[in-house]
């Protein structure tokens, strides 16, 4: 039985998330695991729909379609060397959707970037990565910006580190 069969990588299309994807690709090769990429379209404030003559469901449906196209384009443009990435786009709170999808999809590992904010910026903006770590039943590997500059680092006994055995 494989210890890591399915890996989920959240993306916001940033260079930071791109580096986390590269980590995930390395893990997927090591464990011959399936790789899934998720992007979450955040709910727009209700006030935004009152300022223009639009139906909120139409706007959200269009936003989901655009996000699906953007995700496929992101992979084609930034990750042309990577094949067989499954993609999913969800709507809602990013943390809740990532945690729910990972649990429902029986994922073995989530790999995601963290912006590394501290102090006031962290208090004001929060951290999706931190919320996922706190709420996920699936092990989460977070990668900080400064760690990504050094490239992929081999971690001995990763199964033990992630409490998979």
94, 130 Cβ separation under 8 angstroms: no
- What CATH code is carried by the domain that includes residue 76? 3.40.50.620
pLDDT of 164 > 80? The answer is no
Residue 1 lies in a domain: no
Which residue range forms the structural domain that includes residue 146?
6-161
pLDDT bucket at 115, cuts 50 / 70 / 90: confident
- Total domains in the fold of the chain: 1
pLDDT tens-digit map of 54-75: 666 777 788 889 999 999 999 9
Residues 86-96 have a mean pLDDT of 94
Task: Give this prediction's pTM.
Answer: 0.79
| 113 in a structural domain | yes
One DSSP character per residue, 79-96 reads -TT---EEEEEEES-HHH
- Higher local confidence (pLDDT), 49 or 57: 57
% of the chain residues with pLDDT over 70: 72
């Amino acid at each position: 039985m494989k210890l890591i069969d399915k890996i989920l990588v959240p993306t916001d299309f940033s260079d930071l998330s791109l580096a986390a994807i590269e980590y995930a690709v390395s893990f997927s090769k090591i464990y011959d695991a399936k790789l899934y990429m998720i992007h979450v379209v955040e709910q727009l404030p209700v006030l935004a729909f009152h300022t223009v003559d639009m139906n909120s469901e139409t706007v959200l449906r269009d936003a989901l379609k655009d996000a699906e196209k953007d995700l496929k384009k992101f992979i084609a443009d930034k990750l042309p060397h990577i094949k067989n990435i499954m993609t999913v786009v969800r709507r809602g709170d990013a943390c809740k959707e990532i945690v729910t999808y990972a649990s429902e999809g029986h994922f073995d590992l989530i790999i995601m970037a963290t912006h590394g904010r501290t102090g006031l910026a962290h208090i004001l903006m929060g951290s999706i990565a931190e919320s996922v770590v706190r709420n996920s039943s699936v092990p989460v590997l977070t990668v900080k910006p400064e760690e990504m500059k050094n490239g992929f680092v081999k971690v001995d006994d990763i199964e033990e580190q992630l409490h998979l055995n």
